[in-house]
Amino acid sequence: MFAKEGLEGVVAARTSICLIRGEDGTLAYRGYSIDELARSASFEEVVYLLWFGELPTAKQLASFDAELRANRSPPPDVLDALSGPLARMHSMDWLRTAVSMLAADDPDVDDNSEAANLRKGLRITAAMPALVAAHERIRKQAEPPQADNGLNHAQNFLWMMTGHRPRDPAARAIELAMILQADHGLNASTFAARVTAGTLADMHAAIVAALGALKGPLHGGASGQVIEMLQEVGDASDAARYVERALAQKRKIAGFGHRVYKAADPRAPHLKAIAGPLAEATGSERLYQTACAVEDAMRARRGLSPNIDFYSALVDQMVGLPTDQFASAFACARIAGWVAHVIEQHLDNRLIRPLEEYIGPLPRPFVPIADRS
C-alpha cells in the first residue's frame, strides 16, 4: 500500500452538496450549474440551497433573509475582548478567535442535531461579515461599524468594511464573488471542517478548524499574492517579459493552475466579466489591463487559464478591501459551504481516519544511554 501525495485522487467522502468535474470544468451546487447561479441567484438563495438542498420559494427566502439580518450583530463582549493589543493579530487569527468565542453565548453549542446545526450555522454566517469589518475598524482605532438591515448580506458586508454605500457594479461584484466562493467540494478548509465534525465536535469547532486551513497561502491566502504579483509587473506592456522571466526562474505565477481543474476554472470568467466595468467605475483600468495581459501571456506560453483567485483578487482590491483581509472576505462566503458539509457529516458520520505509509527506520534495538556514542 502506497500513500498518494496530498491524498490526490483519493475519495474521502460522499456528498450531495457540490459536483466538480475537473476534466471538463463543471461545477454545480446541489445540481444547479454555477453559471446559472452566477447569472440569476442571490447569495442568500445560494446559502439556502446549500443548506436545505433546494432553491427557496419567495416566502422561504423572505423568512430566511429576515433571520440572517436579525443575527448580524455579534455579542459586544466578543468585540470588547478582541480590542486593544489583540487587534494587531493577523486578520484570520482574529476571525478564528472571534468565531471560537461565539460558542460561549450560543445556546445550541453542544447540540449536533440538524436543526441545532442550522441555527448555529445561521448565527455564524450572519455575524461573520460584522466580525471581519469590526477587526478592520478596531485596528484603525475607529468605532466598529453598525449593520444596515436595509442592505442584503453582500451589500451590508461592503458597507461595514468600507463605510461607503455600495452601488453597482461594486455591489454586484462582491455578491457574485461570494456566490462563486460559497462552496467547492472537499477543498482543504472544508476537509478540515469535516475531519473535525467527524469526531462529533460541534459546529463552532469545525468552523474554527476550517478557518485555520483557509489562512494558508496555498488556499485562502493565495488571492493576496495576486495583487502583489500584479504590482510587481507594473504595466500591461511589461506583462509578457515578467511572465517569461518568472517562468525561466521557475517561479509560480499567482492565480494560475488548480489542483482539480484540468480545463479552465468555470468561476473565473464570471469575475473577469464584471471586473472590467468595475475597473472603469473605480479608476482601476491599469490594474485590470495588467491582469488581462498576464492572463494572455500565461495562456500563450503555458496554455493555462486563471483560477478564481486571480480575478477575485481584482474584485476585492477594486471594491476597497485591504489585501490582508481578502482571506477573511473569502471566509464570509465559504462559511455557507462549511456549514452544509458539517451538517452532512453529522447526519451520516464516520470518524475520518486515513492510514499512513511509514517511511522511517525499520525496527531496531534500544541502546542504553551510557552505551550511545
Catalytic residue, from 135, 153, 219, 258: name it: 258
Catalytic residue, from 309, 316, 341, 346: name it: 309
CB-CB contact of 361 with 208 (8 Å) = no
For the residues of 330-342, what is the DSSP string, one character each? HHHHHHHHHHHHH
For the residues of 79-146, what is the DSSP string, one character each? HHHT-GGGGGS-HHHHHHHHHHHHGGG-TTTT--SHHHHHHHHHHHHHHHHHHHHHHHHHHTT-PPPP
- The C-alpha cell of 179 is what? 456566490
To the query of whether residue 110 is one of the catalytic residues in this protein, the response is: no
> Sheet holding 32-33: strands in order across?
18-21, 26-29, 32-33
Nearest Cα to 311, choosing from 38, 119, 69, 54?
Answer: 38
To the query of whether residue 309 is one of the catalytic residues in this protein, the response is: yes
Nearest Cα to 349, choosing from 117, 46, 109?
Answer: 117
Catalytic center residues = 258, 309
